[in-house]
A = this chain, B = another copy of it.
Amino acid sequence: MAPFAATPELPCFAVIFTSRRHPESPSAPDSESSYDRTAQRMVDLASSMPGYLGIESARSPDGFGITVSYWSSEAAIAAWKSQLDHHAAQARGKSEWYEHYELRIAKVVRAYSGPEGR
């Protein structure tokens, strides 16, 4: 995926998902790739949903990550939340992958980008 989401038309809505992964278990050598595969599948799936505007994601080597996805409306976010495959991935995230997470829904009111004019 492209790292930067295009600055969408405002107002739009952001889902800010902050998470800490469980330390990798040596007894589950494929858990990383299973997570990565699911994460990529969720990005592909999200981008096929109505109202999807973009996604940005970063994860530090210590397992702490932030993903921000952008949507045209709160209804689009609700539809994405209840999408069947996404729902299954959420369940697996809760039971297997995430030690802790915070999820915040926010209405984006202003946006800037840079640097310009250097």
- Give per-residue flags for A54-68: 1 if the beta carbon is below 8 A from chain B beta carbons, else 0: 001111110011101
Contact A102 B66 (CB under 8 A): no
Copy number in this complex?
A: 2
Of A13-21, A29-37, A44-52, the segment with at least 4 beta carbons within 8 Å of chain B is A13-21
Chain B residue numbers with a CB within 8 Å of A95 are 115, 118
Is A87 positioned at the interface, with any CB of B under 8 Å from its CB?
no
Q: Does A5 lie at the interface of the complex (its beta carbon under 8 Å from any beta carbon of B)?
A: yes
Inter-subunit contact B64/A66 (CB<8 Å) = no
Q: A112 near B103 (CB under 8 angstroms)?
A: yes
List chain B residues, Cβ under 8 A from A68: 16, 18, 66, 68
**Inter-chain contact B108/A108, CB cutoff 8 Å:** no
